[in-house]
A and B are shown apart, each in its own frame.
Chain A
Amino acid sequence: VPEAVDHSRIRPYGDHLDDGLVQVSFSLPVPYALSAREAALEIGRKMQLEEPEVVHYQRLCDGYTYFVLYGRCRPTVDVTELRRGAFEIEYMSEHEINSYVAEHIGRPIVVVGASTGTDTHSVGIDAILNMKGVDGRHGLEAYPGFRVHNFGSQVPNARLVAEAIEVDADAILVSQTVTQQSLHLHNLTELVEIVEAEGIRDQVLLICGGARLSNELAKELGYDAGFFKGTYPNHVGTFIARELKARRDLTATEASAVEMTT
């Protein structure tokens, strides 16, 4: 099948390739009635879905109805364009990551993590780092290719940096429940600044995670990657392993200003 796919113009499919079939589900604040079904179809049309079809609808409670719609989506996306020169990682499984680390790094990768500053929410960092992991997938602690130090929540930035230097960490993971109040963000930037002040910025990968984070925000904050809702330990593990290898290769070729310009 993959040979037949034109990656410069992909669209969703259901029954056969390129048919554009999508399923959307939503609720409307209207009573469970025939007119509700009409309203849902109209929403589908306004979403530019071709041939919208209500395949399921049910009463939620008085005055509210839930819908499942099928429809065809015409626009396409050029994935090759998105991949070129962009931040891209193809996720590996737990097993693949461990073999990759054994082959390319040759020792376990040392990771420290915490919820820093005043943040008490350790659920995110625990899901990624703790043995138990999340949703049936192991956390990095369970990977033979990783040595994990999880310092829990409310860890001052300076202390986390001191610990990272102490254990010679390859990566520092911080979890923040980011809100519009920039206090949380200031806490994230402070960690970057302390790491830079201690002169180890180029020796560690800085990774932040949180419900409202994105790679764009991570870039502004000065991190090497930002992870968000829907992230599993192997996603983070893949990034750390691949990026460490890439940076080793870069140091090996001694990329310098002189070389850049010649």
Chain B
Amino acid sequence: MTAALLADRIAGAARVSVIGMAKNAGKTRTLVALVEELDARGLRVGLTSVGRDGERDDVLDPRIPKPPVPVPPGGLVATSERFLRQAGMPYEVLAHSGYSTPVGNTVIAFLPYGGSPEIAGPSSNAATARVCDAMLALGADQVIIDGAFNRRAAASPAVADVVILATGATLHRSLNEVVALTVAAAELMTLPKASAPQVIEAAAVSDGSVVITGTGEVMPLHRRVTLGGVPEEVERLFGRPDGVSHVLLGGALCEAFVEEARRAARGREVRLVARDSSRVFLSARSSAWYLRQNVSIEVLRPTALAGLTVNPVAPLAYRFDSTWFLKRMAAELVNLPVCDLGPHTS
């Protein structure tokens, strides 16, 4: 698959997030290929980053070369004005967002002749969503949100209409391990949509976490229990005589809570519902593993995962065979388009 097919998959989506599995997983390469393709189709792109992109030197290891991100003529960017000046191309500031970041205040600029400025928009989801809306209102056809490190927050449906996941050799020395980690991440992103009517009903009236008991009673659940890891309280919760039908999480669903719920339920079915997949935090076990233990995790708003890009090169270290890597990924993730948008620098 090429950038053209990837662009087909995201056609019509106003906001596209490029999320990486780790640093140097190939987010920038994906972004560059995508921007090029959208420009060739005559679409005006808007770019923002929840981290930084298009920087000259890697923030951790200056020996790792980073590709610049060429913004096509007529494109829009959300970044710090300092980076616009440094890039030395003409630009017009269309709006001051008022959002401050550690590298300066974010402005929205129009690049009449294009250029490759470093891109660093606001970091938070709410601010990113507002900046994206502003760029769309200012004439962008599609806005691409660049992720950072392994951060997944920008994959939330509140920010992005579709998501592209970037994975790479840098994750682990063993290809098997990289495939397993990537499959787990893709599964997490595509957790099924909750359909039980009592859950939809409870979500409509409560922002916080609630427990829906076996008899349909809805009780609030304190954050201390969902975040704090208080095994006794989880034990008491799942030990109720009428049982627990669902737990609906208002915020983060952390692995400690999932694990405690699994233990407390002692093999009975546990149904956990998060607002969206970006709020589910699993690292030791995958969602598939929990499902086998009778713990199902669903979301209210599913994420539209449009594709996966692979980078077979771990900078300054080693590389996998691209074809073999692609083949392995495609075999595991049958319904997901997988592509390598190289060339990659090592």
Q: List residues of A whose CB falls within 8 A of some B CB.
A: 81, 84-87, 156, 158-159, 161-162, 165-166, 180, 182, 185-186, 189-190, 192-194, 196-199, 201-202, 214-226, 243, 246-247, 250, 253, 255-257, 260-261
Contact A222 B151, beta carbon cutoff 8 Å: yes
Which of B85, B149, B228, B254 interacts with A194 by CB under 8 Å?
B254
Q: Do residues A180 and B227 form an inter-chain contact, with CB atoms below 8 A?
A: no
Decide if B153 touches A255 in the complex (CB within 8 Å). no
Give every chain A residue within 8 A of B138 (Cβ-Cβ). 261
| Interface pair B51/A85, CB less than 8 Å apart | no
Task: Give the distance to chain A from B298, nearest Cβ to Cβ, in Å.
Answer: 16
Interface-located stretch among B40-48, B103-111, B191-199, B328-336: B103-111
Main secondary structure, interface of B, reads mixed
Q: Which residue of A lies closest to B276 (CB)?
A: A197
**List of B residues within 8 angstroms of A220 by Cβ:** 51-52, 59, 148-149
| Chain A proximity of B108: nearest CB distance (Å) | 7
| Interface CB pairs A-B, < 8 A, 12 | A85-B82, A85-B85, A86-B104, A193-B281, A194-B251, A196-B156, A196-B278, A217-B59, A220-B149, A222-B51, A260-B98, A261-B134
The answer, yes or no, to whether B7 is at the interface (CB within 8 Å) is no
Instruction: Tell which of B55, B98, B125, B130 has the most Cβ of chain A within 10 Å.
Output: B98
Question: Scoring B residues 90 to 124 as 1 if CB is less than 8 Å from chain A, else 0, what string do you get?
Answer: 00001111111111110110000000000010011
Quick one: which of A87, A194, A199, A217 contacts B100, CB cutoff 8 A?
A: A87
A226 CA to B52 CA in the complex, in Å? 14
Q: Which residues in B have their C-beta under 8 angstroms from that of A260?
A: 95-98, 108, 130-131, 134
Is B245 interfacial (CB 8 A cutoff)?
A: no
Contact A85 B105 (CB under 8 A): yes
- Chain B residues whose CB sits within 8 angstroms of the CB of A261 once the complex forms: 94-95, 134, 137-138
Additional A-B contacts beyond A189-B148, A221-B149, A226-B102 (14; CB < 8 A): A156-B256, A158-B227, A158-B256, A182-B22, A192-B153, A194-B281, A196-B278, A198-B223, A198-B252, A202-B126, A215-B102, A217-B60, A222-B148, A261-B138
Q: Does B269 contact A (CB under 8 A)?
A: no
**Alpha-carbon gap, A159 to B227, bound state (A):** 6
Contact with A along B277-300 (1 / 0, CB 8 A): 011010000000000000000000
B61 within 8 Å of A by Cβ? yes
| Residues of chain B lying within 8 A (CB to CB) of residue A224 | 100-102, 123
CA A205 to CA B134, docked complex, whole Å: 24
Chain B positions within 8 Å of A194 at CB level = 227, 251-252, 254, 281
- Distance of B96 from chain A, by nearest CB (Å): 7
Chain B residues with CB under 8 Å of chain A are: 22-23, 50-52, 55, 59-61, 80-82, 85, 94-105, 107-108, 120, 123-127, 130-131, 133-134, 137-138, 148-153, 156, 207, 223-224, 227-229, 250-254, 256, 278-279, 281
Whether the Cβ atoms of A256 and B130 lie closer than 8 Å is: yes
Contact B251 A255 (CB under 8 A): no
Could you tell me if A186 and B150 are in contact, using CB atoms closer than 8 angstroms? yes
- Judge whether B124 and A202 touch: CB under 8 Å: yes
Contact A222–B227 (Cβ < 8 Å):
no
A218–B52 Cα distance when bound, in Å, is: 10
Verify B100–A257 contact, CB threshold 8 A.
no
- Return the contact of B103 from the options A84, A193, A219 (Cβ within 8 A): A219
Q: Are B95 and A158 in contact (CB under 8 A)?
A: no
Measured CA separation A260–B133 after assembly (Å): 10
A219 in contact with B82 (CB, 8 Å): no
Q: Which residue of B lies closest to A249 (CB)?
A: B98
Q: Which residues of B lie under 8 Å from residue A253 when comparing CB positions? A: 98
| A196 close to B101 (CB less than 8 A) | no
Q: A159-B229, A197-B251, A223-B123 are in contact. Are A255 and B151 (CB under 8 A)?
A: no
Q: In the complex, what residues of A have CB within 8 A of residue B103's CB?
A: 86-87, 215-216, 219
* Chain A proximity of B31: nearest CB distance (Å): 15
CB proximity of A237 to chain B, nearest CB, Å: 17
- Shortest Cβ gap from A244 to chain B (Å): 11
Asked if residues A199 and B281 are in contact (CB atoms below 8 Å), the reply is no
Whether the pair B149, A219 counts as a contact (CB closer than 8 A) is: no
The answer to whether B223 touches A165 (Cβ under 8 A) is: yes
- Contacts of A161 on B, CB cut-off 8 Å? 227, 252
Q: A156 contacts which chain B residues (CB < 8 A)?
A: 229, 256
CB contacts (< 8 Å) of A196 on chain B: these are 124-125, 153, 156, 278
Distance in Å: Cβ of A167 to nearest Cβ of chain B:
12
Closest to B96 in A: A260
